Every structure is written in C-alpha cells, then in structure tokens.
C-alpha cells in the first residue's frame, strides 16, 4: 500500500509539473522572462560543491599552512609561527564580515573599491549570488564564506617572511591595516564587475594577482622594513621538522582543489579543467625543482620537492581554468625553475631575510603564473581562448595588471607596517628573539622533553 501511495503521489506531481510547464509555455515571451527573473533557481549541486570547496580552503590554512610554515622554522618558534597564522586568519574572517566583503564586492563602487553591505546588511539565507550560468544562483552566504577564506590565507601567507622576529601584537595591527588598504581593493579590482583589472580583461582564475603576487610582494616589503633575524647568514637556520612541512605540503595540495576548482563557482567543466590542471602543473613543478637541484650539483631534496609543489600550485592558480593540461604542465615547470633560481641564487646575493621564501615562491611564482596565463590561454596551446584570441594584447593586459598589483601592494604594505611600528613596535627584543618567540611571546614550548 505504501508503494502504491508513493506511485500515485509521483504521478500527481508529474501531472502538476506538466500542467505548470504547459501554462508557462502559453505565456507571452515577456511574461516568461519576467517569471524566470522573479524566480531564480538555487542549484543544490553547485551549492554543495562550493560549501565543500570553502572548507577545503580553510584546511589549507589550518592545519596546512600552519604545519608547512611551522616545520620550516626553528624549534623555538614553532608555536609562534602557527599561532600567528591562525590568529591572522581569524582576524581576516571577522574583518571580512564587518566591512571587507562590502569593500570588495559591495553593490556600489568604482574601479578601485566597492561599498555597501557593511556588516552584511541586507544579506539573509534567501539572498542569492550569481554564478556564471544564466538562471542559476548560489546562496550569498556561501559566496561570502568562500571569498572570506581567500582573504584569510592571503594575510597568513605574508607572515612567512616575518616569522621568528615580529611581535604578535604587531602582526595583528599590520593585518588589520593591510587587509583594509591592500587586499580588499585588489580583490575588487580583479574579481568584481567594474573593477580596474576586471574591466581590462586581465585573466586571474583563482588569485595569481589577488593572493600570490599580493602576498609575495607584501612579504618582501615587510621583511625589508622589519630587518634581518639575529645571526642571519651567519648561523645555521635549518628547518626543524621537514616531516611536518611535508604533511603541510600535502594538505595544501589537497586544499588547493577547493581553491582552484572552487573558483569556477559551479560544479561544471571549468571546475574539472581547474582540477586536472592543479594535478599536473603541481606534479611537473615538484619534479622540476628536484631536477634543478640535481643540475645545480645538489642532491634532490624533500625540501626542494615541497618547494616545487608550492611553486606549481602558485603558478597554476591564475591559469587553472584558463589553460589546457599541457600548458599547465609547462607553466608549472617553468615557474618552479624560476623560483628555484630566485630562492637559491638571487636571494643570498641580495641579502634580504624572507624567512620562509614567501616572496621567492609566492611572489615570483605568482608573477610567472599571471603573465604565463596570457600565453597558455591560447587555443593553439590547448587553452580555452576563442578563435580571435591574440597572445600579444593579452600579455600587455597581464603585465599591466601584475605591475599595478606590485605597486599597490608595496605602497600599502609599507603604510601598514609603519602603522604597526607606531602603535606596537615591530620586533621582539633581542633577548626574546634569541630565547624564541614561543616562550617570549606565548609562554609555552612546542616540545617538552
């Protein structure tokens, strides 16, 4: 009887649906368009995917980046590094819902920033955000959350250049100012309708400029202003736990699928393209770094493998949905070799103290990836560009966006770091730096024997 009742109900529902479709088809075209606009459809599959992608990006930060960066520091600064990353991410999340979302994606704006929806005013569980397919929407809270994780990880990435000597209070002040004047405007310029780079036609699928060039350049400026660690280039400052760095690398790679494929904002072919590119560009880069080590007369190392993996992930980020798989393989390998040269050759010669190579990998890898996207987008290289796509003009656009991002990030970071210096001071005392920031700043040790 239950089966018969369900069958009858299904028949009734089908009949009602057919009748509804018939009535809709009988409406004039203008009425059909009005009805479609009045009743946008929430795609549950896209929504479920985007919620999953958002959680994957969070896993990139905690525990992924925390373990990756933490393992690269010295034992006495392990907890300090992880705490700074976690606290900075939390700060970014709170600021994002207060006013960051409004500055980046508010309903009003100009080429450089938006405004509106501060404190998420007017956003409800029924509020919808557009995806790229006509007629389908995401709950706006999902879009807000997804973009929130991007802001959180970008600030955390910057700290890789300043660990082992920057005050925790200074990190918090710097983060607040930096997010406001650097990250939110650049996010608007690249990803929001009306934004400067968006209207230029710059290609940045998942954040080559917004996240990696932004974070890398900011890291370099912050490191130079902050100054070198005590004993830099005079003492051995080897990573204390490469096993943890390897675990962090794996978590970053897994989480990066949410980062890249999630930027399609739908569970579709574009997300699938971003997924395979995130596999193969990264694999290519990991092998290329170790090959570069071998060619340079060194043994292929675990640290080199991890560094290459991150370089490939960084480089493919702007190209994830803008390249064919073989273009992504080439882009990953090229970026890895360039980053290797920057970290192992140029950095020692220049003498700046970017503690964990945030600039050498994220900044340089982001620049190579962002510019290279203008090449691998070409259909002749397997990219999704149309028949009328021309590499030359697109390269001009890509270089212009990269140059503008570098200038904006450098100036904004200098303002933010000097604001922190004025309010809290930047560096811990020499005594605390020698003792370690775990004890000096947080009163605890990573390891108790």
- The continuous run of DSSP H or E covering 138 comes out as strand 136-139
Helix axes 302-316, 325-341, angle to 10 degrees: 130
Q: Which domain holds residue 10?
A: 2-37
292 occurs within a structural domain:
yes
449 occurs within a structural domain:
no
125 touches 54 (CB < 8 A): no
Looking up tokens 């982001």, which residue turns up?
366
**Same domain assignment for residues 100 and 13:** no
**Same domain assignment for residues 30 and 115:** no
Instruction: Select, from the ranges 130-134, 368-372, 445-449, the one with the highest average predicted confidence (pLDDT).
Output: 368-372
Confidence of residue 435 (pLDDT cuts 50, 70, 90): very high
**Same domain assignment for residues 252 and 345:** yes
Q: What is the pLDDT of residues 296-316, one digit of tens each?
A: 999 999 999 999 999 999 999
Q: Is 351 exposed, middle or buried (0-12, 13-18, 19+ CB in 10 A)?
A: exposed
Is the per-residue pLDDT at 379 higher than 90?
yes
**Same domain assignment for residues 14 and 69:** no
**Bridge partners for 231 per DSSP:** none
Which pLDDT belongs to residue 29? 59
398 touches 390 (CB < 8 A): no
Alpha helices by DSSP H, listed for 296-388, are 302-316, 325-341, 347-350, 364-376
Which pLDDT belongs to residue 43? 87
How distant, in Å, are the alpha carbons of 65, 256, 304, 326, 371 from that of 312? 16, 11, 12, 13, 14
330 occurs within a structural domain:
yes
Which pLDDT belongs to residue 42? 86
Confidence of residue 268 (pLDDT cuts 50, 70, 90): very high
* Selection from 109, 250, 201 nearest residue 400 by Cα: 201
448 occurs within a structural domain:
no
Which pLDDT belongs to residue 38? 53
43 occurs within a structural domain:
no
Q: What is the pLDDT of residues 24-39, one digit of tens each?
A: 455 565 555 554 555 6
**Same domain assignment for residues 131 and 22:** no
Query: Dihedrals φ, ψ of 15, to 5°?
Result: -65, -45
**Same domain assignment for residues 100 and 15:** no
Q: Percent of the chain having pLDDT more than 70?
A: 90
Q: What is the pLDDT of residues 204-217, one digit of tens each?
A: 999 999 999 999 99
- In SS3 terms, 245-281 reads as HHHHHHHHHHHHHHHHHHHHCCCCHHHHHHHHHHHHH
428 occurs within a structural domain:
yes
Looking up tokens 């560096």, which residue turns up?
427
How many other CB atoms are found less than 10 A from the CB of residue 4? 8
Residues 227-245 have a mean pLDDT of: 96
Which pLDDT belongs to residue 32? 52
**Same domain assignment for residues 287 and 383:** yes
CATH of the domain at 130: 1.10.3430.10
Q: Percent of the chain having pLDDT more than 90?
A: 87
Which pLDDT belongs to residue 409? 98
Structure tokens at 7: 């069958």
Q: What total number of domains does the chain contain?
A: 2
**Same domain assignment for residues 190 and 311:** yes
**Same domain assignment for residues 6 and 129:** no
**Same domain assignment for residues 127 and 266:** yes
Q: What is the pLDDT of residues 107-152, one digit of tens each?
A: 999 999 999 999 999 999 999 987 766 666 899 999 999 999 999 9
User: What does the longest C-alpha to C-alpha distance in the chain come to?
Assistant: 84
Whole-number average pLDDT of the chain: 92
Structure tokens at 309: 């993996």
Which pLDDT belongs to residue 16? 37
Residues 349-375 have a mean pLDDT of: 97
**Same domain assignment for residues 208 and 186:** yes
Q: What is the pLDDT of residues 165-182, one digit of tens each?
A: 999 999 999 999 999 999
Which pLDDT belongs to residue 223? 98
Residues 279-283 have a mean pLDDT of: 98
Distance CA 366, CA 344 (A): 18
């Amino acid at each position: 009887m239950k089966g018969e009742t369900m069958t009858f109900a299904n028949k009734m529902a089908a009949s009602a649906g057919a009748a509804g479709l018939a009535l809709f088809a009988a409406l004039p075209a203008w009425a059909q368009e009005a009805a479609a606009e009045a009743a946008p459809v929430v795609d549950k599959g896209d929504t479920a995917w985007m919620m999953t992608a958002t959680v994957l990006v969070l896993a990139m930060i905690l525990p992924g980046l925390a373990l990756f960066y933490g393992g690269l520091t010295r034992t006495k600064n392990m907890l300090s590094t992880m705490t700074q990353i976690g606290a900075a991410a939390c700060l970014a999340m709170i600021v994002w819902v207060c006013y960051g979302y409004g500055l980046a994606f508010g309903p009003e704006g100009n080429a450089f920033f938006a405004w509106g929806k501060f404190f998420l005013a007017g956003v409800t569980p029924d509020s919808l955000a557009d995806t790229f397919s006509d007629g389908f929407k995401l709950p706006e809270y999902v879009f807000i959350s997804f973009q929130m994780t991007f802001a959180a990880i970008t600030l955390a990435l910057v700290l890789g250049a300043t660990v082992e000597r920057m005050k925790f209070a200074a990190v918090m002040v710097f983060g607040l100012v930096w997010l406001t004047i650097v990250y939110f405007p650049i996010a608007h310029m690249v990803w929001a309708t009306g934004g400067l780079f968006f209207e230029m036609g710059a290609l940045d699928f998942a954040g080559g400029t917004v996240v990696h060039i932004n974070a890398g350049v900011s890291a370099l400026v912050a490191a130079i202003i902050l100054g070198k660690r005590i004993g830099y280039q005079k003492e051995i400052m080897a990573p204390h736990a490469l096993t943890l760095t390897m675990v962090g690398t794996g978590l970053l790679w897994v989480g990066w699928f949410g980062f890249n494929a999630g930027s399609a904002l739908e569970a579709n072919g574009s997300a699938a393209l971003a997924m395979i590119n995130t596999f193969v560009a990264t694999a290519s880069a990991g092998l290329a770094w170790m090959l570069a080590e071998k060619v340079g007369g060194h043994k292929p190392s675990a640290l080199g493998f991890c560094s290459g993996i991150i370089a490939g992930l960084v480089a493919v980020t702007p190209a994830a949905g803008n390249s064919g798989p073989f273009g992504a393989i080439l882009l990953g390998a090229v970026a890895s070799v360039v980053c290797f040269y920057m970290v192992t050759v140029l950095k020692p010669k220049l003498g700046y103290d970017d503690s964990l190579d945030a600039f050498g990998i994220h900044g340089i890898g982001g620049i190579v990836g962002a510019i290279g996207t203008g090449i691998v987008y070409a259909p002749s290289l397997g990219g999704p560009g149309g028949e009328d796509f021309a590499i030359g003009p697109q390269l001009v656009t890509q270089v212009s966006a990269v140059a503008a991002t570098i200038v904006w990030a450098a100036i904004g970071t200098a303002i933010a770091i000097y604001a922190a210096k004025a309010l809290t001071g930047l560096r811990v005392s020499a005594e605390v730096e020698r003792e370690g920031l775990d004890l000096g700043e947080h009163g605890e040790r990573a390891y108790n024997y």
